Each structure stands twice: as structure tokens, then as C-alpha cells.
Amino acid sequence: MMKNNNEKRRSKKPLLLSLSLVLILSGLWFSTTSTATFLKGYMLYKTGNVEAKEFSSKQESPAIEIPENPEKQEAIKSETNSEYPETPEIGDLMGELIIPKLEASLPIIHGTDEAELEKGVGHFAQSVMPGENDNSVLSGHRDTVFRELGEVGKGDILIVKTFSGTFTYKVRQVRIVDEDDRTVIVPKPRATLTVSTCYPFDYVGYAPDRYILVADLVASE
């Protein structure tokens, strides 16, 4: 009788070991796929952590100090040809993107790595700041902050608020391009806002294209 019990225990060990190995491998697969990123981003969106009202630039200003001395301000502006005294650090909150058509206000974070895109709309660090002459590029995930961006098109208004002012853009063009299309970030002869997200919006898995809004600056204050 005792011999039979020992044999049963030994027969259960390989089964338990195999089950443990399957659970460990499944956990590793989940953490390294876009599924984990999607769920994390979706939960951030649903809990309000990507809502601009949670990141009010007045309540939590980025780590940038504007000189109080008017002469020093003018000197900096003449050197940089902009109203921004310095570039924010990667990960800094730098303002908010308001999309009136969607009744949406979204935080803009400097940088477009996954860490920044999980918090809101990312500002491509190699592009100019909003309101400046040239091309300012913003990007966001289609499954979190930009889930409804496909409803925004030609003639619609985009508003960017930063500590340096409020800049209103009007969408001039809608483009759908390949993910490797570098024309999205090329320089522009005037103040332009380019907003990008993955496309198609309902695509399952990694989307191959990009939905692009090209907007011209029409007002600033």
C-alpha cells in the first residue's frame, strides 16, 4: 500500500513541474508582447491618468524656469528664435492638446518612447516646440489617447497649450502613410503641427500604417 502511494506522488511531480513551466513561459510571453502594453495603456486611459485635467500645466508646471528679467528673456528669445527659454527634459509635462471636435484634452509629454506615450501624447524631441516656425510633431497610441482621432479631419481645429502660450492650428491635410515614411517629420516653411497615430484604428495587432493630421498655425496668444 505504501509503495503505491509513493508511486502516485512520484507520478504527480512531473505533472506539477510541467504545469509550473507552462505558467512561467506564458507570463514571460505576455510581458514581452504588445498585449501587455495595450492593457497597461488602456487601464491608464480608463482610470483618467491620461486626462489633461490630471496634468494641469498651471498646477504641475514642467521643470523649466522662465527668467523674470525682461532683458534676459529677450536675449534668450533672440538666441533661440522662439518663446521657449529652454527645451524640456524627456518625460516632462509640457502642455496639453485640446481637440474640440472630440471634446478631448490630453497631456503632452516631451519624448515619444513608450514611457512617455503611456502618460499621454508624446512630443517628438527632434522637432520644434509648438508655436515655433517649422514642424512640431506629436504622436500617440491609437488604443489609448487617440482612439477617436479618425473622426478628426480637414478643417478641424487643434489647440496646443503650453507655458509659453496657446497655439491654435487648423487641419489642412489628412494623410495615411507607411510606418517608415519619414516625410512626416521633415522641416516645414511655416509653423506646422503634425499629429500621428497607428492605422487602421480597428487593426488587430501591430498596425502597419500611420494616420497623419497636418495642421497650420492660425492663431497664438
Pairing of strands 135-139, 192-199: parallel
Q: Are 153 and 159 in contact (CB under 8 A)?
A: no
For residue 89, count other CB atoms closer than 10 A to its CB: 13
Q: Is the pTM of this model over 0.75?
A: no
Give first-to-last CA distance, the chain, whole Å: 89
pLDDT at 204: 77
* Catalytic position from the list 110, 141, 142, 161: 141
Residue 141 is among the residues annotated as catalytic for this protein:
yes
* Catalytic position from the list 149, 184, 198, 214: 198
pLDDT at 12: 52
pLDDT at 46: 37
Residue 125 is among the residues annotated as catalytic for this protein:
no
Ranges of the chain whose pLDDT falls below 70:
1-83
pLDDT at 179: 86
Q: Are 137 and 184 in contact (CB under 8 A)?
A: yes
pLDDT at 35: 38
Alpha-carbon span 34 to 125, nearest angstrom: 24
pLDDT at 45: 37
